Structure 1
Amino acid sequence: MSDNRKYYYLKLKESYFDDDAIVLLESMQDGMLYSNILLKLYLKSLKYGGTLQLDENIPYTAQMIATITRQQVGTVERALQIFMKLGLVEPLDNGALYMSNIELFIGQSSTEGERKRRARMKISEQKRLSGQVSEAKADICPPEIEIKKEIDIEIEKERELKPGRAAPAAYGRYKNVILTDTKLSELKAELPDKWEYYIDRLSGYIASTGRKYKNHAATIRRWAADDTAKAAPKKGIPDYSYKEGESL
């Protein structure tokens, strides 16, 4: 009997622990503990595309996170504050927490799916070596084809709505952030050092969650404004940011 259950996993790069945010995190007091909590949260968020929630309607609270990570509530609360300051976690409108970089690590598979994938790859390689055109080629990468079709449809819609204007283009890591030349120029002017970061961030978020936005430029501006507001020191919340000349 085949096993069709889904399995979620992290794909960590060799340089994961060399990332500036992780180095700063682990250099703090109890930093190794926070790093362990962070990895557990990445794993717990995989099922819902990076969102920390028990099911479709119930987001994880600090108490729930403390339970599933087997840590004290106070430790989890401090860790979450630090994660948000480092841009590793961000709050969503529904009160849930989103793991900001999850699109870089997320993967999904199943035992049956892996078996079929290996079989297709073997058939493709055999036919390539024998000089034949693989009949399974259309089945090897349909997701990428479908994504390209959806992007082309969105671009065509933009062209129909605004006749005479230059057609928008697709940007970002997954080529799913649609911007006109004018919108892109405006973002470059408003966010000279971070426009690429926010485009890639939105691209990864769309790819991992499947969410759609009517105006990608407006979404980027809102995220940038929210990040600026969150970066401002808040009364009663310790400032864990690193300042030049201080020891970590």
Structure 2
Amino acid sequence: MSDNRKYYYLKLKENFYNSETMVILESMQDGLLYSNLLLKMYLMSLKSGGILMLNDHLPHTPQTIATFTRHQVGTVERALKVFLEFGLVEILTDGAYYMADIQLLIGQSSTEGERKKKERMRLKRQKLLPSGGADICPPYSQGDICPPEIRDKRLDIRDKSIENRESESARAYGRYQNVFLTDEELADLQASFPTVWGQYIEKLSEYMASTGKRYQSHAATIRRWAGEDAKKAAPPIRNRYYSVKEDETV
């Protein structure tokens, strides 16, 4: 049987350790320990979209982080202070630690797809598969069929629309700099919701950062949320019926 379990991985650029942040971090006292701890925390947070969760309900604490990373509690506590100062880690409203750069590093695949990728690399090294050639299914035992990769084209259209939007005239807003609005959209939200527009930007920013969800139009999402909340807060309309007899006045 094929193995289609999902797993996650980090995508590190070759200059990751040469970045200004990592050079300064590793130059500190215990900096190499901090660097090792940072990578382990990234890995621990992958399945939760960057949030360090012990389970579905309990966030990690410095003590549990120390246990799972095999570092001293004191080292973890000092490192967390440094990570917070550098903007590598943020604390969410429920007290959970969030790895701020995780969306730039996260990847997702399946064991079946990874095996297929490795086989393609092997064939390329042996010059058995030309660059850009047709995909080749890796060897499989009888009854184990390499499934075709199926992706909804609507997802490609959505992702392309979001990428184009983020690269055009929209600016980044929110605590996690992941809410994109044009100047016109921001002005429209400020005019429509003068007292709460900022709250909804922060709400959307935190929601996307904690869940990994993406929206095609952030302005439309904020407008929809605000409209739904306004309807919930509005008092119910009661219909009153009056009957008037002949020769009576109201």
> What TM-score do you get using the length of structure 2 for normalisation?
0.56
Partner of 1:4: 4
Q: Which moved more, 1:4-13 or 1:26-35?
A: 4-13
Q: Distance in 1 between matches of 2:218 and 2:48?
A: 22
Count of aligned residue pairs for this structure pair: 174
Partner of 2:181: 179
Q: Distance in 1 between matches of 2:21 and 2:210?
A: 23
Q: Is 1:66 aligned to residue 74 of structure 2?
A: no
Partner of 2:155: 146
Q: Distance in 2 between matches of 1:14 and 1:144?
A: 32
Residue segments in structure 2 that go unaligned for 5+ positions in a row = 122-128, 136-147, 171-177, 189-204, 223-250
Q: Which amino acid in the other structure matches residue 171 of structure 1?
A: E
SS at 1:79 equivalent? helix
Q: Is 1:20 aligned to residue 20 of structure 2?
A: yes
Q: Which amino acid in the other structure matches residue 54 of structure 2?
A: L
Residue segments in structure 1 that go unaligned for 5+ positions in a row = 128-138, 155-168, 187-201, 219-248
Q: Distance in 1 between matches of 2:185 and 2:90?
A: 25
Q: Distance in 1 between matches of 2:15 and 2:211?
A: 22
Higher helix share: 1
Q: Which amino acid in the other structure matches residue 85 of structure 2?
A: K
Q: Distance in 2 between matches of 1:144 and 1:77?
A: 45
Q: Distance in 2 between matches of 1:177 and 1:147?
A: 20
Partner of 1:125: 133
Q: Distance in 2 between matches of 1:74 and 1:119?
A: 44
Inter-CA distance 150–91: structure 2 relative to 1 (3 Å threshold): same
Aligned alpha-carbon RMSD (Å): 4.0
- Of residues 199, 210, 223, the one that matches 2:213 is 210
Q: Distance in 2 between matches of 1:59 and 1:32?
A: 25
Q: Which amino acid in the other structure matches residue 181 of structure 1?
A: D
Query: Is the CA contact (8 Å cut-off) linking 1:103 and 1:208 kept in structure 2?
Result: no
Partner of 1:85: 85
State the structure with more CA Rg.
2
Cα displacement (A) at 1:74: 1.3
